[in-house]
Structure 1
Amino acid sequence: MAASHFSTQQYPSSQFVESCGAILFDLSSPSSARVCLGNILAKDEWVLVKGRRNMNESRKDAAIRELYEETGYRGKLLPVRLATRVTVEGDAADAPDKTRVHEGLTEPFMCTVREVPSGNGVKIIWWFIAVLEDGSAERGPGEATFRSEFFGCEEAVEKLYFETDREVLRRAISIINDTAAHEA
């Protein structure tokens, strides 16, 4: 029996969990974009909000639901200019597996894979980009364990507690800037 030529790790459903998060931007003033962070009150750590995907829920829906549950803000996915390896409708069945840039996508822009403590599998986090729904900064209750607040992009990067969150946010900011530059 032949082994795969690619480095491979496989996990049964009992050893992986999917989470989804959306980086929420307030673009009401394009020259001074702001981003929403969550503060875990018990630890006083600023983080990007995310949470587990429910059974039969799409990743996109999970990201928007978690955003609202944790921050109280209603968001919608923002179509962005994205370099990706996904195929698009109308591609040939044998389309090459290569990176291409597409306009107007609401696909995940990053995926984080973390080992679960005790070596019991992995957590896969799908990251999306969102904006305030209808430009409204009206806030619902959010989770009691979180406080959410908007910051300028650079300040938000500095506030984040985890370097991996900083990497995700820097990438999201870059995509927002690239999308805006190509729309101008």
Structure 2
Amino acid sequence: MNSTDRQLHFSETFVISCGTVTIDIHTAKVLLIQWRRTGEYFLPKGRKDIGESLEETAMRETYEETGIPVQLLPIKMQTLATVSTRIGVSQEVERISEPIAVAQRVSEGKLKIIFWYVAQGDSNRARVEGTQQENEEFDTIWVAVDKVASTLSFEDDRRIATRALNLIHSKLEP
């Protein structure tokens, strides 16, 4: 193993974030946010609070940025995670709510690690107003699954959304 295979980051040099690819299976739409300042389209995500689980962070941040409550969507996927035999689950896991991707970014010398989940939401539900933090100026939009990749502004978001949509393709109603 060479020296580039390992990195060590102490707590003051990294941040953990979580986000979702939120899908309304019944309408075949994906939840996005648009930053009013730049017009860029993103998947919702944000920083983990102290004591909060990754799953809780993903759902809370999606809700805060969009005003839409979501639930993680268990999906069938390949993973290197181990299956706990103490909870009576067989090695054949059909549907799990684990991260579908992890992204790393370095900005201003700080490492940002983002865990991505698949979630479901209701595109017909009115968004709750007042959930965004003071510096968040996002509009909430639902985009048809066939328009998501061309709408998202960044390649990482396009790749993550495409993976999520491929994983749940059989669940989408026409």
Structure 2-normalised TM-score?
0.86
2:147 to 155, 161, 165: 155
Q: How does 1:127-138 map to 2 (within 5 A)?
A: 127-132=116-121, 137-138=125-126
Question: C-alpha deviations, 1:79-126, integer Å up to 9, x for none?
Answer: 1001000001118xxxxxxxx973110011100011122xx2310000
| 1:112 aligns to 2:103 (yes or no) | yes
Letter of the structure 2 residue corresponding to residue 8 of structure 1? R
CA distance in 1, matches of 2:48, 2:62: 12
SS at match of 2:157: helix
Letter of the structure 1 residue corresponding to residue 114 of structure 2? I
SS at match of 1:17: strand
Q: In 2, are the aligned partners of 1:81 and 1:101 still within 8 Å (CA)?
A: no
Q: How does 1:1-184 map to 2 (within 5 A)?
A: 7-29=5-27, 33-90=28-85, 102-117=93-108, 120-132=109-121, 137-141=125-129, 142-143=131-132, 145-177=137-169, 180=171
SS at match of 1:176: helix
Structure 1-normalised TM-score?
0.82
CA distance in 2, matches of 1:10, 1:106: 28
Q: How many residues align?
A: 164
| More strand per residue | 1
Q: In 2, are the aligned partners of 1:83 and 1:102 still within 8 Å (CA)?
A: no
% identity of equivalent residues: 31
CA distance in 1, matches of 2:100, 2:31: 17
RMSD: 2.2
Q: In 2, are the aligned partners of 1:83 and 1:101 still within 8 Å (CA)?
A: no
Gaps of 5+ in 2: none
What's the offset of the Cα at 1:14? 0.7
Gaps of 5+ in 1: 92-99
Of the two, which has the highest radius of gyration?
A: 1
